[in-house]
């Protein structure tokens, strides 16, 4: 197959010319070729393989780009790995010399590297669909070099390792997660013996830095159907190593004719539903993933009543700091957001019916602020019942709640609420210094507004401040 028509960008001509000058054959390889054949060029990353030194080619390319554009494009060199990188025309171009890799240290995925041929380099790659190379050399410019049948695997939507899967996965265990990530993103199958090998090598995941695991995990979550990857992780045993709190949710228990739902499969559906809601917020997807993790600890059976999971949202939210710490996920506002959302995940569902009080809605708005929209998205995604009537009813409940939220917010402006009375107002009204009583008064005013005892304005709040101050033994200045 010749792809010269598909690689018309001038960067390819420049690399081709540079390779000729330094007498090092070069090829486009990896993800770019794969995505080109899949007609999904999404990435701005371009990998150039050269038979020789990557850095030498990069220098020559930079020189020729300068001749062509009169703009200097700096190279970043990674001498330890013999690779180099430069940015040109909104593309990150990585130059790597062809190599043979060996992995003598079982506790490390950093290989010992020797210079090799094109074929050696293709052998060391993870999947046949990633071994595809396009020649940039004048004798066969544009020719596709496909020693492992990568094109046919692309057509058949199958992920295979070029060599023995046990070696490919054991050498670099990140590839197990890459296999699952590609299977999710591209909706490909993982070849049976390859999947068996992932099962066998699953514990090798422990040698990976958490950041690399999370990078792949997040890509799975951000895909259009994360359940594919989550299920493959579960079936391979990787999930119980990475996120055991989620994998233990699997299973249905039945007692005296009472059954509960399978909370693992329910969670998968919730995360898929969030993707369908066009949610591309990674952290809301994490919320969906973790929203029921408290159910294992809170599960109880009551005769004649059935299964309950009281306070699972609270218990779940308390588990999140440890999970985030273990997986080296962000701290600060992101962690706070995920905890808050899980803790409140059940609230919209509990606020149903015609007699929801205004104050319950004001409290919800106050606690959630701008995150109310995400909470509603989560609640809609949380509806996974198979019964069409129930689904309709739950959705109607949420629509009704949205209407009420809009009414109350328009009237009371609670979402970005700021107390109409500040600490300074209180100190100057009673001529006092900072003390506990100020907090008590502010809290009293806040609760009075949320409960609808007073309206959200300065004069009503001022009157209540004087009232509470008097109760606390304070005298107006
Ligand atoms: N590769 C590999 N093993 C890894 C990572 C990468 O064999 N653990 C090889 C694959 O041939 C891959 C290429 O290096 O195609 C480039 O890697 P990278 O840029 O990380 O991935 P892409 O395949 O380009 O795809 P994506 O950007 O979606 O990760």
Extract the tokens encoding 319: 């588990």
Determine what percent of the chain is predicted with pLDDT higher than 70.
99
Pairing of strands 254-255, 300-302: unpaired
Mean pLDDT over 193-197 rounds to: 96
pLDDT exceeds cutoff 90 at 312: yes
Mutate to test the pocket of ligand 1, among 29, 41, 47, 176 (most ligand atoms within 8 A of CB): 47
* Mean pLDDT score, 347-351: 86
From atom 20 of ligand 1, which residue's Cα is the shortest distance away?
31
CA of 43 to the centre of ligand 1 (A): 12
How would you classify the pairing of strands 91-97 and 45-50?
parallel
Per-residue pLDDT at 42 = 66
- The pLDDT tens digits for 382-424 are 999 989 999 999 999 999 999 999 988 988 888 888 888 999 9
pLDDT at 179: 97
Interior angle at CA 389, CA 385 and CA 390, nearest 5: 40
Q: Which tokens go with 139?
A: 């004798």
Please tell me the predicted confidence (pLDDT) of residue 43: 61
Q: What is the mean pLDDT of residues 38-44?
A: 75
Decide if pLDDT at 134 tops 90. Answer: yes
Of all atoms in ligand 1, which is nearest to the CA of residue 131? 11
Cα–Cα distance for residue pair 186/191, rounded to 1 Å: 14
Structure tokens at 448: 């009075």
What is the signed CA dihedral for 281, 283, 288, 291, rounded to 10 degrees?
A: -160
Residue 12 three-state SS: helix
Number of the ligand 1 atom closest to the C-alpha atom of 172? 8
Beta pairing class for 158-159 and 258-259: unpaired
How many angstroms separate the CA atoms of 201 and 241, rounded?
Answer: 12
DSSP letter assigned to residue 453? S
Pocket of ligand 1 (CB under 6 A): 30-31, 43, 45, 47, 125-126, 130, 172, 174-175, 178
pLDDT value of position 283: 96
- Partner residues linked to 308 by β-bridges: 300
Question: Within 10 A of 174 (CB to CB), how many other CB atoms are there?
Answer: 21
For residue 7, what pLDDT band results from cuts at 50, 70 and 90?
confident
Which residues neighbour 359 within 8 Å (Cβ) at sequence distance 6 or greater?
450, 451, 452
Over the chain, what is the mean pLDDT?
A: 92
Please give the backbone phi and psi of residue 113, each rounded to the nearest 5 degrees, phi first. -115, 135
Which DSSP state fits 112?
A: E
Element (H, E) at 101: strand 99-102
pLDDT above 70 (res 178): yes
Q: Point out which residues pair with 255 in neighbouring strands.
A: 258
Model pLDDT, residue 144: 96
Report how far ligand 1's centroid is from the alpha carbon of 30 (Å): 6
Percentage of residues of the chain with pLDDT beyond 90: 71
Triad 7, 10, 12: Cα angle to 5°: 55
Per-residue pLDDT tens digits for 150-166: 999 999 999 999 999 99
Which pLDDT value is given to residue 76?
94
In the block, tokens 């010269």 appear at: 4
Domains of the chain and any CATH numbers: 4-155 (3.30.460.10), 157-242 (1.10.110.30), 423-471 (no CATH)
Whether pLDDT at 278 is above 70: no
CB 136 within 8 A of CB 12: yes
pLDDT above 90 (res 85)? yes
Q: What CA–CA distance (Å, rounded) separates 185 from 204?
A: 23
């Amino acid at each position: 197959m010749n792809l010269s028509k598909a690689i018309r960008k001038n960067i390819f001509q420049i690399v081709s010319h540079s390779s000729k000058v330094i007498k090092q054959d070069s090829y486009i390889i990896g993800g770019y070729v794969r995505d080109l054949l899949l007609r999904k060029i999404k990435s701005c990353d371009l990998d150039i393989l050269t038979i020789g030194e990557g850095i030498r080619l990069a220098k020559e390319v930079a020189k020729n780009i300068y001749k062509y554009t009169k703009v200097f494009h700096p190279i970043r060199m990674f001498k330890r790995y013999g690779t180099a990188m430069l940015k040109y025309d909104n593309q990150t171009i990585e130059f790597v010399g062809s190599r043979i890799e060996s992995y003598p240290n079982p506790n490390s995925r950093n290989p010992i590297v020797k210079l090799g041929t094109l074929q050696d380099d293709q052998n060391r790659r993870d999947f046949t669909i990633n071994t595809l190379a396009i020649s940039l050399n004048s004798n066969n410019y544009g020719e596709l070099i496909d020693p492992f049948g990568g094109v046919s695997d692309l057509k058949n939507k199958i992920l295979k390792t070029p060599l023995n899967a046990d070696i490919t996965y054991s050498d670099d265990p990140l590839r197990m997660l890459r296999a699952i990530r590609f299977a999710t993103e591209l909706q490909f199958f993982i070849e049976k013996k390859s999947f068996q090998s992932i099962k066998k090598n699953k514990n090798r995941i422990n040698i990976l830095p958490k950041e690399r695991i999370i990078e792949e995990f997040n890509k799975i979550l951000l895909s259009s159907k994360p359940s594919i990857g989550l299920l493959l992780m579960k079936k391979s045993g990787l999930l119980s190593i990475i996120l055991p709190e989620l994998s233990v949710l699997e299973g249905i228990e039945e007692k005296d004719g009472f059954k509960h739902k399978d909370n693992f499969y329910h969670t998968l559906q919730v995360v898929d539903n969030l993707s369908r809601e066009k949610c591309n917020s990674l952290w809301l997807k994490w919320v969906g993933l973790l929203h029921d993790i408290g159910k294992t600890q809170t599960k109880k059976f009551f005769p004649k009543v059935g299964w309950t999971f009281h306070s699972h949202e609270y218990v779940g939210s308390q588990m999140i700091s440890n999970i985030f710490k273990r997986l080296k996920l962000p701290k600060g506002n992101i962690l706070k957001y995920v905890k808050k959302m899980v803790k409140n995940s059940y609230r919209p569902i509990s606020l149903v019916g015609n007699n929801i009080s205004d104050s319950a809605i004001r409290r919800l708005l106050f606690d959630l602020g701008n995150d109310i929209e995400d909470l509603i998205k989560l609640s809609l995604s949380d509806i996974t019942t198979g019964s069409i009537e129930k689904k309709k009813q739950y959705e109607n409940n949420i629509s009704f709640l949205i209407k009420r939220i809009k009414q109350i917010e328009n009237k009371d402006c609670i979402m970005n609420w700021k107390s109409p009375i500040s600490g300074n107002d209180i100190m100057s009204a009673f001529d006092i210094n900072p003390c506990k009583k100020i907090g008590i008064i502010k809290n009293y005013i806040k609760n009075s507004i949320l409960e609808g005892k007073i309206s959200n304005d300065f004069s009503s709040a001022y009157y209540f401040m004087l009232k509470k101050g008097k109760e606390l033994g304070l005298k107006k200045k």
